[in-house]
Structure 1
Amino acid sequence: MKKWAFLLFLALFAALSEAQAQGGHGFWHQEWAVEKGDSIPLVHVLPVYVFSRPVDLRRYRRLVDAVKKVYPIAKIARAKMATMEAELTRLPTKKAQKEYIKQIYHEIKDEYTPVLKRMTRTQGRVLLKLIDRETEYTAYEVLKEFRGGFVAGFWQGISKIFGQDLKSQYDKDGEDKMIEQIVIYYEAGLLR
């Protein structure tokens, strides 16, 4: 009996070592628990999505590709937003703040207009959600704060024409649960 338990443990250890050598694909992380003097590996397996229709699998893959493309942009938006807010509190007058906002606006426009023009609708929708996730402000709130209510309303109307919504909020436990899972995989380096 001890021989079989040892062989089973050896096989499990070899399988886990092989999975870790491959970069840990297939499981989230591993812990060890001690029960009655025995070390027991606890492996947290990644959830596997099973799709009944091929179209659902294609949509999921498109969503993964969209997150991989726009998540770095959302992280940059978070960093720029933090530096911008810090700089705005440092500036003494409203005029200096408006000049700074105008300067940052032109920098962002020059840098990201070519990138945004090549995005698909799915990527644009995911970017709006991820900006809300990272900055805790919807795109509409960001526009309203830094460019004014009229500009925000104008771009909200334009986005509605194209089937988007600048006021869409990120709901990690609801409709954006799959995006949240993909972001976690992306941050952990589990997406290729």
Structure 2
Amino acid sequence: MRILWLVLSIFFLSNLQAQEKKTLLINGDIFEYILDDCGDTIVLANFGDMTVTSRREFASMDEYNRYQRYRRYAYQVYPYAEKAIRIFKEVQRQTAEMRKGKRRKYTRELQDQLKNEFETPLRNLSKTQGMILMKMIEKEVKAPIFYLIRDLRGSFTAFYWNTLSGFYGHKLKDGYKRGKDSILDMVLDDVNLTYGSDEGPLPASIRLPKKLGKE
């Protein structure tokens, strides 16, 4: 029966793709739709990206407990990682054509807003929660936190934060390296930031400075 269901599903989907798609407006959103052989309307909608992983296996109970703890922490810091990545990508777009001086002026204007929004909750994170938050961001943007800070704020600032983070056992220059911590890899695979961080408006409390213009 499962094979029959699979064959029928594939056949049904291939028929849908072959039919001409039209659009309709539902609550202000535009959706594609098709008409089936009976004349009924079938609305088509796209789902966000999904990650399918294999069953988790652990060598010991200690590994399992660490996985559960990391996973719990990851979902606790997820909102901060999502907002940080969204803001970072928007700032990149806004400052892409600015010279260094104007870019730094722009980011300084934004810094006070970010401080008001995030300083208190981030200071309350544990060492492990902070590490997971950094690795989530680094995995998504594909760069160590150190270089993100350096590009936006300057080498001295990046060096300062790299040195400070070293006291807590983390080096911002190291970045996320897959394979270094298999439990962390599992957790970051479970938490998909790619879709959420590209969708929707910026946090209501964050107002990006107006473009300073080209020099």
Asked if structure 2 preserves the Cα contact closer than 8 Å seen for 1:128 and 1:168, the reply is no
- Aligned-residue offset at 1:139: 0.9
Look up the match of 1:27.
none
Normalised by the length of structure 1, the TM-score is: 0.65
Distance (Å, rounded) in 2 between the aligned partners of 1:138 and 1:125: 12
Once the two structures are superposed, the pairs formed by residues 41-52 of structure 1 within 5 Å of their partners are: 46-52=54-60
Look up the match of 1:127.
133
Look up the match of 1:145.
151
- Aligned-residue offset at 1:144: 1.0
Q: Does 1:171 align with 2:152?
A: no
- Aligned-residue offset at 1:148: 1.1
Asked if structure 1 preserves the Cα contact closer than 8 Å seen for 2:135 and 2:175, the reply is yes
Flag structure 2 segments of 5+ consecutive residues without an equivalent. 9-51, 194-215
Asked if structure 1 preserves the Cα contact closer than 8 Å seen for 2:103 and 2:152, the reply is no
Look up the match of 1:109.
115
Once the two structures are superposed, the pairs formed by residues 12-51 of structure 1 within 5 Å of their partners are: 32=6, 46-51=54-59
Flag structure 1 segments of 5+ consecutive residues without an equivalent. 1-8, 14-30, 35-43
Look up the match of 1:24.
none
Normalised by the length of structure 2, the TM-score is: 0.59
Distance (Å, rounded) in 2 between the aligned partners of 1:135 and 1:70: 16
Between Structure 1 and Structure 2, which shows a larger proportion of helix residues? 1
Asked if structure 1 preserves the Cα contact closer than 8 Å seen for 2:138 and 2:144, the reply is yes
- Give the number of equivalent residue pairs: 149
Q: Which has the higher contact order (CA 8 A, sep 6+)?
A: 2
Distance (Å, rounded) in 2 between the aligned partners of 1:85 and 1:118: 28
Distance (Å, rounded) in 2 between the aligned partners of 1:69 and 1:111: 16
Identity %: 22
- Aligned-residue offset at 1:98: 2.5
Look up the match of 2:80.
73
**Aligned partner letter, 2:57:** Y
Tell me the secondary structure at the aligned position of residue 122 of structure 1: helix
Look up the match of 1:158.
164
Look up the match of 1:181.
186
Look up the match of 2:42.
none
- Aligned-residue offset at 1:142: 1.2
